[in-house]
Chains A and B, each alone.
Chain A
Amino acid sequence: MSSQENSCSNDLGLSLGMLSLRIWLGLRAIQTGLEKFAGIKKIEYVPVEIDGAPNVYELTRSIEVKAYGLSYYKGVPAALEDKFKAEPLIPDFFLAIYDKILGPSLLLLGITILLGIATRISLFAMGLVYTSLTIGLILIKQDAGVAWLGIHIIMVAMALVLAKHDKFAILNKW
């Protein structure tokens, strides 16, 4: 095997490695962003069964289904938001803005990374988003979450290193 063939083979591996990272990071961000638009919707009340038959008192139980919509949007989960509000280093106005932009940002960056649109800039922006999340989790002492986000940052950095091998992209300029 010639050195040129070896080089081509390595380039393909690096390109596929980059694509794998883009797919993982892109879908991860898209799904996370989508989940921020998810909520529980009650769709039906059905009679409670006692001894295998509908009860005579009209006691009902509701069937709930997961639904997506703008009305369900919550960028920062309520449980975490209360803790962040208690942190003096996180101003309320900043938290309010962050709550509004986090979901759309994840969706937008997920799409651009998945499709390969301005991959480097998108990856860097995603790194900043994950870093901002990390800072919040450090403040409220969620060490497992910090470690989890640390892995994301490593993957973003690996993707940036491999960006020159990003061959399956729509816009490779930036």
Chain B
Amino acid sequence: MNFDLPSLSRREFLSKSTLGAGLVLGAPSILKAKEAGAPADDIRVGFIGCGKQHEVLFNAMVNIPGIRYVAAADIMKDRLGRTFGAIKSRFDTNIKRYYDAEEMLEKEELDAVFVATPDFWHAPHTIMALEAGCHVYCEKMMSDTLEGARSMVAAMDRTGKLCQIGHQRRSNPRYLFTLEELIKKNKICGQIININGQWNRALSSSQDIAAKPDILPKADVLRKYGFNTGADHELSLEELRHRFLNWRFYKSLSGGPISDLGAHQIDIFNWYLGVQPTSLMASGGRSYFKDREHFDNVMCVFDYDTPEGNVRAFYQVLTTTSSGGGYYESFMGTEGTINISEREAFTKIYKESGTTDAVSDQWDKLVARGVLKKVAAGQAAGGADAIASYESAPPDEYSLPGGLSKQPHTNHIENFIASIRGKATLNCDARHALESEAPIYWVNPAAESKETIIFTDEHLHT
């Protein structure tokens, strides 16, 4: 294990690598990898970043065959030890441990790298790994800045390597089935007019993260790795460590709740509709966590022009309440509504009341074929306060015919590994991810300025 730290800072790296060549679109986006040898060959994997999200990814991939774990890099010794121990106990393999990702990439022969670092390191680490000849799986949000995300697409094109972004819902069988079978093929929603999405997280889940000081990196390490970026004064060790553990609260290190939580779901809006939004209105506030740089609650409305007509999509991310039904994306059409969520418990499908006999027949046939399951006929709430003339008859409730037998990230990683072997194409390569993520980068500016943004190619190009 080498404890020397490199002299290349993030800012220097960015200036020396692809930002200067951000508009160079050399090779076309290669979505299918060249053959990586015989299919039986193990994929040699390294990890950059060994925190909580890394643990989620590792636990999701332990049952995927044909992976050889080789090395991991993190600036925190304790995390490296945990990753080493987890791989050792599960696979009886001693991986190499590095404090520096660049050194790992120089010394190890890796086929693929998983990047699960803070958002402001995603672009540097991804580009570094792509240029070292590795395929990359990088967690969303692609970067803390739109420029950083664009530089990742450029690096993917330039190197010809695969770059999968961790919008894992795009490989989730439930989401794929809903899009392909229910929305596109059988059009059970009719014309989709509105979308409503949310992630409401309880106050108790939104508190500052703390850790024992003796396991945290020292001040010079944190400064070297950019955790003082954007600060207007010399940061104390305590302030640096707060930024290290709570980088999601700082504007120069992340995009805040709208990118942490909202990115997954607004990605679904754009993916399902197949178009980018035309405009954006947003509002946000530091209503509870007054000392945090980012908004603690954000609400926004996107407008879309689809071949079927105009669609408005509302999204909210709240960090002070978990009430209101959890997290889901709701596609509301003239004939039906699909509430889809990564959690099966939040997934519900409704047939509009008063639809034509033809529509009812279609839904009945879908149930008979096994495409849908009927849960319950709509039942009026009743009660003395019900005023019949105000209310529509309640819709019938349906559900998806099945669920997921794996962890939510497993299918997405399987897709990445299969693509490296040349047996699949990426479900969310960097270019497609950026097409979807680009509008999200404008939510915080729209909320700050309180002005509607009419999107142009300048805003949304990849």
Asked if B173 is an interface residue, CB under 8 A from chain A, the answer is yes
Given contacts A45-B405, A50-B401, is CB(A59)–CB(B369) below 8 Å? no
| Residues 166-191 of chain B, each 1 if its beta carbon lies under 8 Å from chain A, else 0 | 00000001101100110000000000
Closest to A44 in B: B405
Q: Which residues of chain B are near A58, meaning CB under 8 Å?
A: 173, 405, 411
Chain B, 371-423, CB within 8 A of any chain A CB: 371, 400-405, 411
Asked if B37 is an interface residue, CB under 8 A from chain A, the answer is no
Asked if A87 is an interface residue, CB under 8 A from chain B, the answer is no
CB-based A-B contact count at 8 angstroms: 43
Asked if B28 is an interface residue, CB under 8 A from chain A, the answer is no
Q: When the two chains form their complex, are residues A61 and B371 in contact, meaning their CB atoms are under 8 A apart?
A: no
A51 to B403, CA, bound (A): 17
**Interface size counted on chain B using CB atoms at 8 A:** 16
For the complex formed, measure the closest distance between the CB of A44 and the CB atoms of chain B, giving whole angstroms: 9
For the complex formed, measure the closest distance between the CB of B178 and the CB atoms of chain A, giving whole angstroms: 9
For the complex formed, measure the closest distance between the CB of B347 and the CB atoms of chain A, giving whole angstroms: 12
Asked if A62 is an interface residue, CB under 8 A from chain B, the answer is yes
For the complex formed, measure the closest distance between the CB of B217 and the CB atoms of chain A, giving whole angstroms: 40
Chain B, 56-114, CB within 8 A of any chain A CB: none
Closest to B370 in A: A50
Closest to B404 in A: A60
Closest to B171 in A: A58
Q: Which of B180, B400, B403 has the most CB of A within 10 A?
A: B403
A104 to B17, CA, bound (A): 69
Q: When the two chains form their complex, are residues B370 and A48 in contact, meaning their CB atoms are under 8 A apart?
A: yes
Closest to B411 in A: A58
Q: When the two chains form their complex, are residues A61 and B402 in contact, meaning their CB atoms are under 8 A apart?
A: yes
Q: When the two chains form their complex, are residues A59 and B411 in contact, meaning their CB atoms are under 8 A apart?
A: no
Q: Which residues of chain A are near B403, meaning CB under 8 Å?
A: 59-62
For the complex formed, measure the closest distance between the CB of A45 and the CB atoms of chain B, giving whole angstroms: 4
| Residues 47-87 of chain A, each 1 if its beta carbon lies under 8 Å from chain B, else 0 | 11111100101111110000000000000000000000000
Closest to B414 in A: A58
For the complex formed, measure the closest distance between the CB of B428 and the CB atoms of chain A, giving whole angstroms: 17
Closest to A42 in B: B405
Q: When the two chains form their complex, are residues B177 and A57 in contact, meaning their CB atoms are under 8 A apart?
A: yes
Q: When the two chains form their complex, are residues A48 and B401 in contact, meaning their CB atoms are under 8 A apart?
A: yes
Closest to B178 in A: A57
For the complex formed, measure the closest distance between the CB of A58 and the CB atoms of chain B, giving whole angstroms: 4
A59 to B180, CA, bound (A): 13
Q: Which of A50, A51, A57, A61 has the most CB of B within 10 A?
A: A57
Q: Which residues of chain B are near A48, meaning CB under 8 Å?
A: 370, 401-402
A57 to B175, CA, bound (A): 10
| Residue from A51, A52, A59, A62 in contact with B174 in the complex, judged by beta carbons closer than 8 Å | A59
6 A-B pairs closest in CB distance: A59-B402, A48-B402, A45-B405, A60-B405, A57-B177, A57-B173
* B contact residues vs A (CB 8 Å cutoff): 173-174, 176-177, 180-181, 369-371, 400-405, 411
